[in-house]
Structure 1
């Protein structure tokens, strides 16, 4: 067992076959809504709780805006009525050697929101664009 926990700043994202650098990835959650139930002859005046269906909140990706890079928008443009280009996205937290230590895999991901950078005449920050994706499942693997 290692003496120190992993640092969260060393990670990579496989964007459906292409490795892309991001400043931030957030929303790597798995949630489950419990089902409450009580039958009429129960001597307890409370409900029991049982596991319900899993739900997977959207994932948010943030990165710097680069001249000539319009990949977020191009992916968003694939949405047409009930069709969209879906991707498997792999996010890997890397150890000190650059090898994946923990891997999150998003199943059937597609874009749902694109936010361009804000513009400020007196600003001194990097232009950041944000993409929010929905997906149908998240698996976590410890390597």
Structure 2
């Protein structure tokens, strides 16, 4: 008898990356792509003067978070990116939490990335092509002050 998959364990297959949601503050927004969810520990190299080894010791230093890039289709009268970006005034900007959730097949979050004090660092409008056959897509690059990950 063939296996129909009904008795299969829920943790056999990795989660697909195409079912996700993004919330800016409390507003849910739709995006085509999210990338840049990364963090690295900057390296500190140290060697004491009386060390018999002619090499440095490598230690973890400050954490460095990359900017997160989000892409979405352009819709008529949708200027949320630009409105937020235009609030930048002499080193002041409204900083909001951004929550990115990878969803399971029932729509429940299984992995959640939270960006602390996020703000728009760069916006890239769509390219225009007379012979193109694609959707107009704009890109926003989000700077933030920390990334936390939670699993459900």
- TM-score, normalised via structure 1 length: 0.98
Q: 3-state SS of the aligned residue for 2:61?
A: coil
Match of 2:18 among 3, 6, 9: 9
In the alignment, structure 1 segments of 5+ residues that lack a partner are: none
Divergent runs of 4+, >4 A:
none
Query: In the alignment, does 2:120 pair up with 1:111?
Result: yes
2:98 aligned partner: 89
- TM-score, normalised via structure 2 length: 0.93
CA deviations on 1:81-102 (whole Å, 9 max, x unpaired) are 0100111000000011110000
Q: Distance in 1 between matches of 2:93 and 2:72?
A: 22
2:107 aligned partner: 98
Q: 3-state SS of the aligned residue for 1:74?
A: helix
Query: In the alignment, does 2:73 pair up with 1:54?
Result: no
Q: Distance in 1 between matches of 2:44 and 2:147?
A: 21
Q: Distance in 2 between matches of 1:3 and 1:50?
A: 37
Largest Rg, 1 or 2: 2
Q: Distance in 2 between matches of 1:100 and 1:116?
A: 30
Q: Distance in 1 between matches of 2:40 and 2:55?
A: 23
RMSD (Å), alpha carbons: 0.7
In the alignment, structure 2 segments of 5+ residues that lack a partner are: 1-9
Aligned length: 143
Q: CA deviation at 1:44?
A: 0.6
